[in-house]
Structure 1
Amino acid sequence: MMEPYQILASAVIIQAVKDYRKALRFVKHHPPDLDIDLQQHAPQQHARRDQVIKNENERDAIEHFFRSGWFAMLSNLDGELLLKKVCEMEEG
């Protein structure tokens, strides 16, 4: 039987994977339009750009987490390998 701290650690990692997949999907389907002139476009384009930036930041933060010492304390998994596997799942 798992200890309560192990259950919590697993839940943190599972949620991070879910959030990472969600961010990857969003960025894949909404690539950033770096040429957009926000001064001349509708508010919905501003909102879309904000969402792209939010999801890119989320993706980057979760990648940092999986490569961190904190992740290593929570799990004996290889964070880099986990990132690779999740990316492969989203590409397939």
Structure 2
Amino acid sequence: MLKRNVGDPYENLANAIVMQAVYDYRACLRRLHRHPKNKDAQIEKEELLSFFHSDWYTTLTSIPADYLIDKLDQEFADKISKERKKHHGS
């Protein structure tokens, strides 16, 4: 769970760092979906996965990295599935 304490600027910063990585990972998944051979996106994804599995990440949040990554991957897969159904009328 993201550590929440409105009054603690360090925890707010920690939350913002993790959330930025989440936003970046989602954007990376979108880019790779559109252009699977995009080397820059592939490298960025690897860097983000490395961050999620780093000691720094575990210092910033108590959310298990694999849990978060699985949720983000599933969220993206669900979104793609919905879009395909919408476009194909299924």
Q: What TM-score results when the alignment is normalised by the length of structure 2? A: 0.77
Deviation at 1:81, TM superposition (A): 0.5
- Higher relative contact order (CA closer than 8 Å, sequence separation 6+): 1
* Structure 1 Cα separation of the partners of residues 50 and 66 of structure 2: 10
Which has the larger Rg?
A: 1
Gaps of 5+ in 2: 79-90
Q: Percent identity?
A: 32
The CA RMSD measured in Å over matched residues stands at 0.9
- Count of residues paired in the alignment: 73
Alignment of 1:7-46 (within 5 A): 7-32=12-37
The unaligned stretches of length 5 or more in structure 1 are: 33-51
TM-score when normalising by structure 1: 0.76
Q: 2:66 aligns with which of 53, 58, 80?
A: 80
Superposition misfits of 4+ residues, deviation over 4 angstroms: none
Tell me how far 1:80 sits from its aligned partner.
0.9
